[in-house]
Amino acid sequence: MTNESVPEREPYLRAMIDPPGGNPFPQRHLLGIEGLPPEQIQYLLDVAEGYAAAQRSRQFRPKLRGLTQINLFFEASTRTLMSFEIAGKRLGMDTVSFSVDTSSIKKGETLLDTAQTLNAMRPDVLVVRHGRSGAVSLLAQKMNCAVINAGDGQHEHPTQALLDALTIRRRKGRIHGLTIAICGDILHSRVARSNIHLLSAMGARVRVVAPPTLLPYECMRLGAEVFTNMEDGLKGCDVVMMLRLQKERMQGAFLPSEREFFHFYGLTEDKLKPAKPDVLVMHPGPMNRGVEIATSVADNLQHSAIEEQVEMGVAVRMGCLDVLTRHLHDQTEADQ
Ligand code: NCD
């Protein structure tokens, strides 16, 4: 973006284009993990770590008071939508969540017209989830505020990868050098894609484990090691990340049956045996118990980090809201 394309009335955008004194996160939006340098990922994780501590001690400062956050969700969500809303509120933002079911989109309004309408209301952050890959970055081009991708089709889900990384870093003390297996429906998973980018950038050895029908060709290009059986794929792993079968994105027959999938790829205590004894088990949720993960593994607190992932979700989203609006509140803080 050039300075010329920024309207005169948006002085804060100028600060973002030309950040004074070396901004540690000089991105205007958070649309994906692909291409983010490791030091910027590290910075987001460090800021989120501070919010994780603040949450545990229940010390919230309304640092973003007066700023408006709009959550625009075109797809179902429990964790992501709620945690973005809680994150904004804990920072003192005015948060508005937009239900697509009751909006004018049902009356035929296009995505770009909706974007222009929301832009005219001058939000400071727009959080978007959409069923089409690329829809969020298209919309970002029409917005004068920061845009956060809360999941676009099967493309990326950057805040999920960040919260997964923060959980791993807290539980294992590092990401670099760990062997991490991502298992299940890799083909349709934006969580898998964002995690492969992030974990490889941070120096982990990433494996993907799935039936051949659920493995995208690009896995190898992305630097992941490919396995089609759980025993080999989980051998010596520090972390095992399970994924939901994304049935809503499957057009055609990818699997004989869910029962067969569970038999070969569902995570059970037996299948976990080749992994390291202190292996960490993760799942982004929503879980389908008895399809990709057995209840006994999901609820085994010795290994499972699933609840901590949800907790870190709020911390990571607070961090992202804070960092992407720095140009607005740093000035306010200095004035106080
Ligand atoms: C994931 C998503 O929506 O991509 N869920 C989430 O954000 N926690 C994974 C999924 O739906 O399976």
Q: In the 3-class helix/strand/coil scheme, how is 3-53 assigned residue by residue?
A: HHHCCCCCHHHHHHHCCCCCCCCCCCCECCCCCCCHHHHHHHHHHHHHHHH
Share of the chain above pLDDT 90, in %: 77
Q: Would you say the CB of residue 157 lies under 6 angstroms from ligand 1?
A: yes
DSSP state of 275: S
Predicted local confidence at residue 14, as pLDDT: 37
Two tokens, residue 120: 């005219």
**C-alpha to C-alpha distances, 293 to 245, 285, 335, nearest whole angstrom:** 11, 11, 52
Predicted local confidence at residue 15, as pLDDT: 37
Residue located via tokens 């805040």: 159
Rounded Cα distance between 37 and 35, Å, is 6
Q: Would you say the CB of residue 191 lies under 6 angstroms from ligand 1?
A: yes
Predicted local confidence at residue 331, as pLDDT: 56
Q: Would you say the CB of residue 284 lies under 6 angstroms from ligand 1?
A: yes
Range name among 108-122, 158-172, 200-214 with the lowest pLDDT average: 108-122
| Sequence-distant (≥ 6) Cβ neighbours of residue 206 within 8 angstroms | 180, 182, 195, 196, 199, 200, 223, 224, 225
Identify the residue whose C-alpha is closest to ligand 1 atom 7.
80
- What kind and span of H or E run contains 71? strand 68-73
Identify the residue whose C-alpha is closest to ligand 1 atom 12.
244
Two tokens, residue 264: 């070969």
- CA-nearest of 12, 43, 41 to 28 is 12
pLDDT in tens, 167-177: 999 999 999 99
Q: Is pLDDT larger for residue 304 or for residue 4?
A: 304
Predicted local confidence at residue 333, as pLDDT: 55
Two tokens, residue 46: 């460090």
Range name among 9-13, 175-179, 225-229, 277-281 with the lowest pLDDT average: 9-13
Alpha helices in 37-110 (DSSP H): 38-56, 79-90
Alpha carbon 106 to chain centroid distance?
27
pLDDT in tens, 176-201: 999 999 999 999 999 999 999 999 99
268 close to 284: Cβ distance less than 8 angstroms: no
Residue located via tokens 């050098």: 177
Rounded Cα distance between 312 and 317, Å, is 8
- Of 149, 157, 246, best ligand 1 pocket probe by most atoms within 8 Å of the beta carbon: 157
* Parallel, antiparallel or unpaired: strands 146-152 and 125-130: parallel
Q: Would you say the CB of residue 79 lies under 6 angstroms from ligand 1?
A: yes
Mean pLDDT of 129-145: 95
CA–centroid distance, 219 to ligand 1, in Å, is: 19
pTM of the model: 0.91
Predicted local confidence at residue 170, as pLDDT: 97
* Parallel, antiparallel or unpaired: strands 125-130 and 280-282: unpaired
| Sequence-distant (≥ 6) Cβ neighbours of residue 136 within 8 angstroms | 31, 128, 129, 130, 147, 149, 150, 152
Rounded Cα distance between 172 and 164, Å, is 12
pLDDT in tens, 95-120: 999 867 666 676 778 888 988 999 99
The count of other CB atoms within 10 Å of the CB of residue 329 is 18
For the chain, the average pLDDT equals 90
CA–centroid distance, 285 to ligand 1, in Å, is: 6
Is the peptide bond between 274 and the residue preceding it cis, with omega within 30 degrees of 0? no
Mean pLDDT of 26-45: 96
Predicted local confidence at residue 16, as pLDDT: 38
Q: Would you say the CB of residue 80 lies under 6 angstroms from ligand 1?
A: yes
